[in-house]
Every structure is written in structure tokens, then in C-alpha cells.
Chain A
Amino acid sequence: VTVEIRCDYCRTEIPPELWNQENGAKCPFCRRLVLAQVFPSVQKIIRGSGAEAIGSESEASCYYHPQSRAVLACDSCGRYLCGLCDLDVAGRHLCPNCLHHPETSRQVATGLDNRRIMYDSIVLALAIGGGFLLWPSLITGPLSIILAFWFWKRPGSLVPRTRLRFIFAILISLVQIVMWFAFFWALATQRKGT
């Protein structure tokens, strides 16, 4: 079991007597100020077991370590795994490859979103970007309004975030549409006049 309470600059180990000091302490080597707040979980023992060597030719061996005895099969791909390769994640036994696979990761992390699309930012960027480029706003204006209502109820950020971006996008798009109407109206009136 190891713990890496070190100075970030010179990588010197900060001794326990310098931990949890209210005003911090100087690093023993580079004399830079270090504030290290350490908690009881520093004493926790890392779980997991090692691999056992294979005893006879009739024994099943690990897919990743042919010299190690297989203890079980991966719940996702079915490959035999030794004690070292067996990863106990949320009640499932997985091999490292399966754990890294996006599909399995998603299944493991059921209910825990790791990524979310910010539709409100996309719609706002579409409305503003189209306005800057002028002609595209003929399409992006109405499209932004449609998308804003389409995505209105989609889950947004995990952390508190208002729907102001949607509202701004709708307002900007409305202004663009009104200006296009005014432009075409003026054009039609001028042509009628001539």
C-alpha cells in the first residue's frame, strides 16, 4: 500500500508531520509552500488478488496470462480470466478489455451519465452564427426556433443550468426572421412602386 503525498514541483515526499497544517508547510527540499489535507482513507488497503500459477496441463489458463490459472470467465466476452485480470465492477466480473469497451462501460455505469450534449448551446450557436453570416440566417433562424422547442425537454446538464440559452436563441432567431420579412417587404414595395 502506497500513498503519494508529494510536492508537485520537486516530487519530494511530504512527511506526515507536515500534513493537515492550517497554514501549510514548506517542502523539505524546494522550500515551496505545500498545503496537504489528508483524510483517513489514506490507510485503506487496495483490494484485488494476485494470479496463481497454473498447476497442470488440464487446468484452464487465463486468456491474457497463459501461465496463470483461470478462476472465472468474463461476464461480457466469456474469456477465461486469472485473479489479476478479473475486475469486479458493480457486481459483474469483467476483463480489462471489456471494461474499456464503450458499450460495456455504458452498461456498467447504468444511471451514471458520463457525458451529456448541451443542446441549448448548439441551438444558440446556430442562431448567432447564422446571423453573423447573414444569408444562412434565412435557414438557421427558423431552424433554431424549431430545434429550441424540439430539444426543450431533453435532459440538460447534470449541474444547475437554466434554459436562458434556448430563450436567447429563440429571441435572436425571431429578430432575424422579422428583419428578413422587413427586407422582402421593402423589396416588394419598391418593385411595386417602380
Chain B
Amino acid sequence: LTGKYRKLTRKKRAISGSTQLWLGDDHVLMVRSSHFAEEYRRFQLADIQSVIACEAPARTLMQVVLIIFGVLCFLAVFGSGTMFERVFFSIVGAMFLGATAYDMLRGPRCRCRLLTEVSTELLEPVTRFSDYRRLMLQLQPAIEAVQGRLDVSDPNVIIPAASGPAFYQPPETPIGAQKYLQPTFYGILLLTCVAYVLFYFWRYEEGFSIGLSGIGAEVLVAILLLSMPERFGVSGVLKTLLIGVSILVAADIVSVVSQISNMVYQVAEAGRTNTKPPVIWDIPWMMTLAKISITWRVIAGATGLIAFWMGREAAPSQPQP
């Protein structure tokens, strides 16, 4: 049984499992793996009506942010004093730039669907036009061997009509919780700011740690917003603001990572020379970071919330063709 399938695509991996397409004698097999079990869906070659790939939104913003992050890491190499810092930032910078270069080299992104008489299936492993072409190199001859070729210019061919409106339906707009991710992001900025205010003005030391956790939360939400701006309704001024804030958050992270690597180096040096380690946290640096963070986070958080609120008030009507 196992020898009769030919691989059509690579595995599309995710944390929860993977998806892959295989070609059988008379059907396409979609294998969804959840690590410990596999589920199978079969599509008879005789039933496949169409395989469509449509250009997906470009990830230019994400790529720009990653390049900036990578360049910042390389700049940090020149500014760092220890070998550990230099090696660390070189590796991290190379990872960011390498990942971006790989993403760009793979070509434009797409979403691919397989249509049968009764179902429409998203082909998750096909995410680029190059993947689609590779898939069709094997799949098209197999389907045409069963069904023959469709010549749309032949007057005897009857093409059925599409159901529903033929021309335009507005693209998906953010629904439910999705539309609140942007104000959540600016809310997190202000909460991080409050934590730093507690540290800066009242010397509440836990405030600094809470601030660092806040930066982590900001990174996660910013990645979500930047990777799927349409889904979360990020556009216009808010898009520009989001990019600006992401760069500042990236600068904060570089600063924090630099400080932590310095700490690790000092502790390691103290261990090597068998001396007492110096003061672990650099207080003047912490105060400077808190001061800068408070300033820009107050401005960005408030501006973001106001811009979002004003954008909601003046929601544009749906365009017509």
C-alpha cells in the first residue's frame, strides 16, 4: 500500500502538525498529521474541477522590519566590547537577514485551492507560485490522463455560471476580537510605560521586570499585526505608526539583549577568575532605558489609541466596482 504514492509537495509544518500532498493511482491524498496520528482526505482525479492559485498579500512590511532588526544587530556588533556580544549579535543578525533573503528568494506568495464538484479545499503546502508550478508539473498530466484537456475556446464546451454575484464581493474585514488587536497593542505600550514610571519615579524595582515582560508582549502582538495587516484592519496612519513603534521596540530589545549579554560575560569572567561578580544590573542604564521608554511609549500609545478611535468613527463605506 505504501509504495503507491508519489510526493507532490513538501510538508507544510506548524506547531500542531503538518500537511502534505501525495499523488495516488487515481486520487490526490492530503495527509494531515498531528504528530501522533494522521488523517487522510482523498480527491479523485476524475472529480477535480480546478486548481487555482491566487496572489497573496506581500509581506514587505515584515521584511523591512526584519532587515532593520538585522542591521541593528550588526551595528551592535561594532558597538559591543566583548567577544561574546560580537558573536551573539553576528549570529542573530545573520539569522534575521538570512531568513528575509530566503523569504524573498522563494518568490511571490499565493493561496491555492482545489475545487471538486462538492468541495473547495485550501492546499496549505502550496504557499508560493513556484510551489504551485511544481505541483502542477505532476498533477496536471495525471488529471488530464483521466479527464482529457479542457479547451475553453471550443464553442461546444458548456461553461457553467458561478453562483452568487459575479463581479465583486468586498474582501474580508476584521470581525469580532480581531478588530481589537490594534487598541490592545497600544494599551500594552501604555501598561509597559506605567511599569517603567513606577520604577523611574518610585524606584519600584519589580516595575522594570514587568516592563521587560511588556516588551515581550509588544513583540508578539506587533508580529501578528505586521504579518496580517488586512485581517486586523491596519492601514493608513496606523500602519506608519505601527512600523515606527516596531522599530523602537526592536531598539529596546537590542539594548536589553546587549545588557544581558554583558551581564552573562561579567558573571562568567568572575567565575573564571574566581572573584566576586560585580553589580549585575547597571542602574544608570536601567534609568536611561526607562526614561526613553516612558517618553516614546506615552506618545505612541496615546496617538495610536486616538487614531484608532477616529478611524472607527469615520469608517469608509464599502467600495463598489
Contact = CB atoms under 8 A, between A and B. Distances in A.
B50 A37 contact: yes
B40 to A, nearest CB: 6
A7 B163 contact: no
B21 to A, nearest CB: 10
A33 B111 CA distance: 11
Interface stretch (A42-50, A62-70, A71-79, A133-141): A42-50
B119 to A, nearest CB: 10
Contact of A3 (B29, B47, B159): B159
Contacts of B51: 36-37
A39 interface: yes
Interface stretch (B86-94, B149-157, B195-203, B239-247): B149-157
Contacts of A159: 2, 5, 7, 20, 22, 29, 31
A32 B53 CA distance: 10
A41 B51 CA distance: 12
A28 B147 CA distance: 28
Contact of A158 (B1, B117, B129, B152): B1
Interface string A25-37: 0011110111111
A40 B152 contact: no
B54 A20 contact: no
A116 B37 contact: yes
B168 interface: yes
Which of A20, A112, A121, A158 has the largest number of chain B CB atoms within 10 A?
A158
B82 interface: no
A10 to B, nearest CB: 6
A10 B172 CA distance: 8
B3 A2 contact: no
B55 interface: yes
A41 B55 contact: no
Interface in B95-116: 108, 110-111, 113, 115
Given A43-B157, A43-B159, A34 B55 contact: yes
Contact of A121 (B36, B57, B147, B169): B36
A38 B5 contact: no
B148 interface: yes
B316 interface: no
B39 interface: yes
Interface residues of B, number: 63
B108 A33 contact: yes
Interface in B9-59: 20, 22, 29, 31, 33, 35-42, 46-57
A184 interface: no
Interface in A115-134: 115-118, 121-122, 125
B144 A39 contact: yes
Contacts of B39: 114-115
B152 A157 contact: no
B54 A27 contact: yes
B222 interface: no
Contact of A2 (B54, B136, B162): B162
Given A10-B168, A29-B321, A35 B52 contact: yes
Contacts of A8: 52, 54, 56, 111, 113
Nearest to B44: A41
A158 B162 contact: no
B55 A33 contact: yes
Contacts of B35: 118, 121, 125
Given A16-B159, A37-B50, A38-B49, A32 B152 contact: no
CB-based closest 4 A-B pairs: A8-B54, A2-B163, A32-B55, A11-B169
Given A38-B49, A40-B147, 17 more contacts: A5-B115, A5-B162, A6-B162, A17-B152, A24-B53, A27-B54, A34-B52, A34-B53, A34-B55, A35-B54, A35-B110, A37-B140, A39-B143, A40-B148, A42-B159, A158-B38, A159-B20
